[in-house]
Amino acid sequence: MKAEMLYWVDRVGGKVEKLEVELKPFGYKMAPVTQWKTLIADGDAEVERGKPTIIKVKTIEIPENTIVGPLNIMRHALGVVADVVECGIPGRVEEDKCVSQVLFVPIEDGVVKDGDLVGVLKVFFIRTGLLSRIPLLKPPKVELREEITEANITWRDNGNVYREKIRTKVFGYTRSHVGVWELLVADETVRVKRGDVLRIRIKEVRLPPNTVVVPLSIMRNAYGTVLDVVQLGKPSRVEDEKRIQQAVFLAVEDGVIEEGDLIGVINVYFVGVDRLENVPIELETREVNIVYRTGGGIVRKKLSVDPFGYRRSANASWEVIIADERKEVRYGEPEIIKIKKIKIPKNTITYPMCIMRHAYGSFVDLYSDLPPRKVEEDRFVNYAVFLPIADGEVNRGEILGIINLYAVEVGSLTKVKQWMDRWLDEMGEAFAESDWPMW
């Protein structure tokens, strides 16, 4: 199967060219460790709320056979990193890469200053192959590198932006592949307009120490998608307990978010950045309103959601998101673009592959015009949420982005604790063997 990739030749906003790409059914196996890379502003950049901005960052090198994704929980006082821009023509995951710019989505007016930490990238080490050979692959051997970073961390308090210069070691973590789902439930009623990027107060979510979060893809509210979550006050380390009180929400149409509405879901993964002895997992059944669109309009339905978790496979596959219609796009105005239908098999979760794949914007989520379904059921997605960074045109057959598909085993909290106990035992054995440089 062939598709077209539209990219900037020299610089973002410069000359555009097309590249024909041959698509094959590939997947990969992940190593059990993840490296961090810091995204530090390389110069001052003035930003305006809701206006996507390409910000230059100090160039970081990404090794071959890796994919990347953002370390969520908002890292800058003025906004979030929605995507990154590769130096030159977007390459294959099997090749060395570098990142020199980020797509920053501001939630406040202000200035991102030279030396500010705007975000952190997670670098996943993988071994690729045809889908038929994935079960036979062994995970790649990885040697994590400790780096010393100097940057300004920023946060807001009572409307003021604070900066603190830090010098810290940047390393990474081991992954358990075990996680739970936390619901993001609006704790206020808010009127939104298409293109709004705003913080919505949510019922507090408490994250245990040694956890990382990732928004669960496939839009969970008819009016928009969650780009990130917010911890108020000075940023905390992954090793610390955190309390999430707000979500950064991108509205794709006009409407009202009501108190009690489900606006999104986050995956909460347990990881090792410090020695773990036990993992506190305390979740309760929640009453929420699910809000979705049907042929008859917007439906708001009350639902009782039991707490569940899952164990993710180390094997994954890719699906390419290809436009199935022509659509003009305008800077900063999110578009729902029809794509070639993608089947999401039951017991599968999706995760966007970071690094922009279209010149005129970034794919930020998937959308289905069918009523919501559980992860345990087969699903189809036929639209993408696209955030334009320039005026332009998306044409049928162009690549908008790529998603990773992970198989998961869903279980009760009792089952999750059993999986975690088993992982902790395995980690203890790994330490004894000293085979992996994990800490």
Position 41 scores a pLDDT of 97
Pairwise pLDDT comparison (132 vs 185), residue with the higher score: 185
Between the CA of residue 176 and those of 296, 316, 402, 411, 432, what are the distances in Å? Answer: 43, 15, 24, 15, 18
pLDDT at 60 over 60: yes
Task: Grade residue 277 by pLDDT with cuts at 50, 70 and 90.
Answer: low
Please give the pLDDT value at position 256.
97
DSSP assigned state of 304: E
- CB burial readout 365-402, b (16+ within 10 A) else e: bbbbeeebeebeeebebebbbbbbbbebebeeebbbbb
Q: How much is the pLDDT for 404? A: 93
What number is the average pLDDT over the span 178-186?
A: 94
Per residue in 414-438, pLDDT tens? Answer: 898 888 888 887 765 544 443 433 3
Instruction: Tell which wins on pLDDT, 305 or 283.
Output: 305
Calculate the CA dihedral of residues 355, 215, 25, 379 and round it to 10 degrees: -140
Residue 300: pLDDT over 90: yes
Q: Is the pLDDT of residue 296 over 60?
A: yes
